[in-house]
Chain A
């Protein structure tokens, strides 16, 4: 079993805590002039996504999580699983609904996503920061309005709903930031 000492802690390190793989967000060394040193650590639980704080005595060791990130291209959804492929080895992996979470609406065929694997199985899927999707439904824009005041909702081909400027029409392809679900630009 691989372990890490608190002295090795740094952000991004993957640990097993409460039986769940976690990623360190922040690590702070806290030591009174006279007394025990501690590490106060902010972590993200990789399965539930919960962010919480934990404290360790400096010098303690913690079990490492066998977690790795891989870049895979999205292929298709068979109704139960979402399938991804390594573009170099053509090896395929299937992610379940739990791993996909809210991100189904950002999955575009052939887009390269980051899959976090724990003991070889996907536990989370992170879409690219920007995706290009077609507008399938939106109110007709007001002629002449290009200021984009407030905008209007638009439904995209994957079902995602984002606010777009009034001049965007059905059938146009737009670029969206998946981290904030915000419209970025038109794609010509």
Chain B
């Protein structure tokens, strides 16, 4: 019997795309070098994980000398916790270009491992960080200065509804035909907001220049501080361009007790909904307890940025070997 020879050994990205990737990474590094932001390299595997109910990490096991039982290790879904531990150790402004790994995510804009640019700026609030990020976007994409719109205004403009006060029923009623069935059987307000945002708002905003959406509902704060003037919203922002979500950033939560409460809330939801438990990162919480400087941070999908730069319609055009050829 002849052994079958795999026909899919070739890269899915063209040489031009690989060259564009290399140049873009060099530009990013130069951007931060000019601003005296330090490049760091933190672990891809961690003993703890994220509790985020919408992120499913890959798990592997460490078997090593002096290691009596196999130790579970989680592949990093983002370098956030390690980078914040560096900030707590007073390392100052830092950035990282690294691989992030997320299970159960695969599609035109998703590969289960992808390249992330994450950076943190002590003493910046989230609006100052958006300004810096807009400079980076203009450098890489040769686009105009980024727009800014509040999450509330985006809903008002696209759906004529105030997301901060709307009831579940009102949100169900504004769902377009393409997601009406799902909307009427969905009773969780945040899921409805995410549905409407993804299906209705995202395709409309930031078509001509990138747009920051800021002030997400407090219930979707993740690791952001609540806004001091309006605690119904969090100082969290996202960046969109041509229907693609590029980045997510926060004015970072410093309160260790509040952070633990959010983690525990996630864990309780995971338990109630049959998701695997995620061990809370105690080293991260200990670092927060020691003290995180007032800072803002943001994570950007580098592969998607390259897709926009070269006009690619599928992430496989910008990575050498997507997971199905890895």
Q: Interface on A for B, CB 8 Å cutoff?
A: 7, 28-38, 40, 52-58
Contact = CB atoms under 8 A, between A and B. Distances in A.
Interface in B159-190: 177-179, 181-182, 186, 190
19 contacts: A32-B197, A32-B245, A33-B238, A33-B248, A33-B301, A34-B52, A34-B54, A35-B190, A36-B54, A36-B191, A38-B179, A38-B195, A38-B199, A40-B178, A40-B199, A54-B178, A54-B181, A54-B182, A56-B182
B220 interface: yes
Most A CB within 10 A of own CB, among B190, B195, B299 = B195
B262 interface: no
Interface in B86-122: 104-110
A52 B177 contact: yes
B126 to A, nearest CB: 15
A33 B105 CA distance: 10
A36 B194 CA distance: 7
Given A40-B178, A40-B199, A54-B182, 15 more contacts: A7-B104, A29-B105, A29-B110, A31-B54, A32-B238, A33-B238, A33-B301, A35-B194, A36-B194, A36-B195, A38-B182, A38-B198, A52-B178, A55-B195, A57-B186
A55 B93 CA distance: 41
Contacts of B191: 36, 57
Question: Taking chain A's interface residues, is the majority helix, strand, or loop, or is none over half, making it mixed?
Answer: strand
Interface residues of B, number: 29
Contacts of B256: none
A37 B198 CA distance: 9
Nearest to A42: B178
A137 to B, nearest CB: 44
B66 to A, nearest CB: 38
Contacts of A40: 178, 199
Contacts of B220: 34-35
A30 B54 contact: no
A53 B245 CA distance: 21
Interface in B243-287: 245, 248
A57 B54 CA distance: 12
A37 B105 contact: yes
B13 interface: no
B177 to A, nearest CB: 7
Nearest to B107: A29
A134 to B, nearest CB: 46
A53 B179 CA distance: 8
Given A37-B54, A53-B178, A54-B178, A30 B199 contact: yes
A180 B301 CA distance: 43
B308 interface: no
B136 interface: no
Contacts of B108: 28-29
A3 to B, nearest CB: 16
Most A CB within 10 A of own CB, among B106, B108, B179, B198 = B198
Nearest to B216: A34
A33 B250 CA distance: 13
